[in-house]
Structure 1
């Protein structure tokens, strides 16, 4: 379905039913398919909601209307449009930036937090963010070349060419200018995460692929140390896309953790 959100047509899906609701935000220019294989088994016991954020999938917006602040605002706009009072907020990869800022802004709207293969803006003490070339400067001549290079690094697992192809097809729904914009944009207001995260009172599950070259394990471990009562699950042999390569395992971890913490 399409939601009218801030003058944009935002594509969203809601399926399943249960005592808990999970709202999933995808990464970079990924669409709902980042999550769909994991949400499908969860929907037997949860209400699962996922949407294409600005510039991703079917949510086409002018590139100048994409910002950190707008993405966070859209979390609450989608929640209101879908009549979600409270939920577990889930973010993947670049989407962890949005998820973290949403729960920091209005923790009373959330029952828990799930961060997968992404540490938002959190950095190790004394370490500055690494300089990264924009997607338009990645190896290759065309946008699809750039995406294929990216997907190859995201999915190191053997016998996974079908997952790499799927990832490229998902990302290619966006455009080069949007890809560069979301990859490089910075929030207007800075957050002291080392100060803010220890005060986060939400049940928090961190899921990370052991072989992820996009998101370092030691930063996930540091974030885990900052969030009281959080659980870090490192998936052995997995890369950046465990929700696509091992969806049943990811769903099982989500179900188990929040059943334990939320009842």
Structure 2
């Protein structure tokens, strides 16, 4: 099941053992290595693939523990804390024998990337916080609710709107893989700037995306809450903050907070994107990352 060490950075799919658990990742492209951590948690990695980035980066798309081909914890669906995910990423870097890499985290993957950077800054050449936030909890939920109301107002009268909003509301009630996948597919239009105007582009992704149910609890049953505000003020890793203007879950308010907290970070707002700028504005997205990589590598 474990690939030969000399082949771990070859293109394709790889399975390795990290702390005794199978960890799967997918490698494409060439150039400096960038680990990419998807969101959810539990969303299948394929949605995050960005071929435009593979033109100048070796992209290592990680399937986090509990997701896809990576092994589940004995405590599944609990125990998938940021600390646990960080240990998995550090162990993967050890196996790949890579001293310093770029790290891109999307959505919940951004929360993981922040945690990794705060504990392993010496292992990073640069950090891309893509649709992330410095804190979760009541304030984050209230902001998301307000953004959803704005989305609903922009799309008032669309026949598909009630089903999308119902899918979003169901997220907190489902506790199995099938229900979580169904909810994700139903709510996906809410996560785009103009899904129904561009449905032909995104319909297949919506039909194919899957999600494993992973709880927000640690092994003892306590919530794994995010509050990185204090730590981020001392982060020394070169950081790019990327956000879609119309993102409802980790929108511009949180990107601006991250930018203000992280010293010498740069902020890029994609003006016609929601939560998936790499799909909605792939050229602008890749241009922002390319400029950042060049700057961080200088």
Give TM-score, length-normalised by structure 2.
0.74
CA deviation profile, 1:184-203 (whole Å, cap 9, x unmatched): 97338x75x33322211111
Runs of 4+ in structure 1 displaced over 6 angstroms?
131-134, 182-185
Distance, in Å, in 1 between the alignment partners of 2:18 and 2:131 is 28
8 Å CA contact retained: 2:181, 2:212: no
CA deviation profile, 1:152-198 (whole Å, cap 9, x unmatched): 2112322135425414522x2x334x2x447997338x75x333222
1:163 aligned residue: 202
1:148 is matched with which residue: 176, 182, 185? 185
2:27 is matched with which residue: 3, 10, 14? 14
- 5+ residue gaps, structure 2, are 1-13, 146-168
2:161 aligned residue: none
8 Å CA contact retained: 1:95, 1:120: no
Is the partner of 1:33 in helix, strand or coil?
helix
Distance, in Å, in 1 between the alignment partners of 2:82 and 2:20 is 17
8 Å CA contact retained: 1:52, 1:58: yes
1:235 aligned residue: 270
Is the partner of 2:187 in helix, strand or coil?
helix
8 Å CA contact retained: 1:114, 1:206: yes
- 5+ residue gaps, structure 1, are none
**Which of the pair has more CA radius of gyration?**
2
2:254 aligned residue: 219
Task: Tell whether 2:37 aligns with 1:25.
Answer: yes
The Cα of 1:250 is off from its aligned counterpart by: 1.4
Query: Structure 1 residues 128 and 201 mapped into 2: Cα distance closer, same or farther (>3 Å)?
Result: same
Query: Structure 1 residues 116 and 167 mapped into 2: Cα distance closer, same or farther (>3 Å)?
Result: farther
Greater Cα shift, 240-249 or 69-78: 240-249
8 Å CA contact retained: 2:103, 2:126: yes
CA deviation profile, 1:94-121 (whole Å, cap 9, x unmatched): 1111100101101111111101111143
Task: Tell whether 2:173 aligns with 1:137.
Answer: yes
Task: Tell whether 2:110 aligns with 1:71.
Answer: no
8 Å CA contact retained: 1:213, 1:240: yes
Distance, in Å, in 2 between the alignment partners of 1:159 and 1:134 is 25
Distance, in Å, in 2 between the alignment partners of 1:181 and 1:106 is 23
1:254 aligned residue: 289
Query: Structure 1 residues 254 and 47 mapped into 2: Cα distance closer, same or farther (>3 Å)?
Result: same
Distance, in Å, in 1 between the alignment partners of 2:203 and 2:276 is 10
Query: Structure 1 residues 8 and 146 mapped into 2: Cα distance closer, same or farther (>3 Å)?
Result: same
Is the partner of 2:84 in helix, strand or coil?
helix
RMSD: 2.8
